[in-house]
Amino acid sequence: MNKLSRYYQTLKHLKPIQIRYQMWYRLRNRFFPVDLPVIHHLPDYRKLVLHPFPDQHTHYLGNKHFQFLNLDQIFKEKINWNYKGHGKLWTYHLNYFEYLHQPDMDTETGLKLIRDFISKLECRSEGLDPYPISLRTINWIKFMIDHNTWPEDLIQSLYTQYDVLSKKIEYHLLGNHLLENGFSMLFGAVLFQDQKFTRIAKKILTAELEEQILSDGAHAELSPAYHCMLLQRALDGYNLLTQNEHCLEYLEKQLEEMIPEMVNWLHTITFQNDELPMVNDSIHGHVLSPKQLRDYARKLGFNADTCQLSESGYRKFEMGHFELFTDVGEVGLSYQPGHAHSDTFSFVLHHRGKPLIVDKGVSTYEKNSLRQEERGTASHNTVMVNGEEQSDVWSGFRVGRRASTQILEESGNQLVATHDGYRHIGITHTRSWKITNNKVVIFDSVDGSNVLCDAYLHFHPLHKVKKIDDQLYMADGLKIELQHSEHSNLETYRWAAGMNRVENAKKIKINFINKLQTIISS
């Protein structure tokens, strides 16, 4: 694909507001940068209350020792809040301050870390980006509530940071970033009873909740992990509004109606062992577990139930000892597909409560060849035609040409769908899944004359896979039959167990022409 075509296919999906703010922010950052305001008096504020909320994962190990994304850093002297040795995402996590809510965090340690950050606040280059500001301000306010401490220097710094955030709202990105901006402004609005902050929070959240939460309750970027993050934030927002004085009754009602849909979607897609389908940009150990979120929701009055999966394009089947999760949807938000993969018709399969066939996963957000590989078609349990990608994923978080899907048949134990990701070479791919008590049957049909195809099955590292012959494999007592295949290989791949952490596992690569039937049986 030439560069001009790729840029056109990428840019044509953007909203005008994204283009306008991209241009404005670039111009402003060069000629009129946003400076920290000078606050000469303590702003008015109200001490807030919250129902108890879940602990976060432990990332601060004491003595200036931090661990994020499976990478450790011990600062020998002062904490370098702009540290770039492990990449930008690691620095962002350092600046989020989520570790304020880990189980062993005490008031003195938390305040010491916050005040270390506040010193020379104007020098926190990464920390003053709008996304870290959004997460950090919420975490500081929750910390102050949880520890019943309201130091004036923290209050003043919070107001300063909210003033900066109000001028850096991420309209150029939209998606989950804009929602996080909105929830942060909500916390600022209720804390300071500030009309400007209230107006911004109301404008963002009322519109974006309607836009980004789909009819079946999924977040529109279609990453189960990001859904968990935003569900936690929605619960935080509802917690805040129901426990404190405010003038945002419509938003409180909106959250009250949407949260059950989000909770039910998460409950429906979660496997019996409480694991998420780790599809698109989903990272192991990165978010609260489904159980933690269900428990938090229940404490706020929301009980989980199953729902009918629809607009998200995901489907889940349970029969006998099998749990099958499939993707027959679009890439996600058309104007913000940054966390999407080229994974149309990929699937995840659990057997007897344990993962069997899995996504390769995500181990990096850096814009490199590994990121490209992990988003690519061959890293998913689907079909690649003529060595080309179904959807043109590129530059870390971009998607150009993209597959569009159509469901042809759907019943209690069967699903048939087709996609046009190879329309540029005149080919369509149709896949069907049928599940019974002891068998899963997958049939692939690729139209055209003698079309060379590769199908992939990625096994979890727990499983020992043995090749019997070109059309028969065994995986810990399960039989995998390949009908109509030309040739197959058992290969080693690197499964992402989390950011910057991979393990060796086995995959089957299957060569076929036009059609293939895969039968997985016990």
Q: Print burial letters for 90-107: b (CB count within 10 Å at least 16), e (below 16).
A: bbbbbbbbbbbbeeebee
Q: CA-to-CA distance for 224 and 75, rounded, in angstroms?
A: 34
Q: For residue 204, which of 237, 157, 171 has the smallest C-alpha distance?
A: 171
Amino acid letter, 138: I
Q: For residue 234, which of 270, 196, 187, 274 has the smallest C-alpha distance?
A: 187
The secondary structure of residue 36, as a DSSP letter, is: P
52, 96, 140, 293 from 149: Cα distances, Å = 16, 19, 11, 26
pLDDT for residue 388: 95
pLDDT for residue 284: 86
Apex CA 297: angle with CA 293 and CA 301, to 5°?
170
Q: CA-to-CA distance for 265 and 293, rounded, in angstroms?
A: 12
Q: What is the mean pLDDT of each run of 10 residues along the chain (522 residues)?
A: 89 96 95 89 95 97 97 96 96 98 98 97 95 98 98 97 98 98 98 97 98 98 98 98 97 98 98 97 92 98 98 97 97 95 98 97 96 98 97 96 97 96 95 96 93 96 96 96 97 97 98 97 94
pLDDT for residue 448: 84
Residue 383 backbone dihedrals phi, psi, to 5 degrees: -120, 135
Q: CA-to-CA distance for 464 and 487, rounded, in angstroms?
A: 20
Q: For residue 507, which of 346, 318, 327, 282 has the smallest C-alpha distance?
A: 346
Counting other chains too, the contacts that 434-438 makes at CB distance below 8 Å and 24 or more residues apart are: 435/317, 435/319, 435/322, 435/324, 436/319, 436/320, 437/319, 437/320, 437/321, 438/320, 438/321, 438/521, 438/522
Residue 57: CB atoms within 10 A of its CB come to 15
pTM score above 0.85: yes
**Please, is 30 exposed, middle or buried when counting C-beta atoms within 10 Å of its C-beta (0-12, 13-18, 19+)?**
exposed
Q: For residue 59, which of 27, 107, 28, 100 has the smallest C-alpha distance?
A: 100
Asked if residues 257 and 234 have their Cβ atoms less than 8 Å apart, the reply is no
- Domain 314-521 matching CATH 1.10.238.10: the answer reads no
List CB contacts of 227: < 8 A, sequence separation 6 or more. 218, 219, 262, 265, 266
3-state secondary structure 52-67: CCCCCCCCECCCCEEE
Q: CA-to-CA distance for 492 and 480, rounded, in angstroms?
A: 17
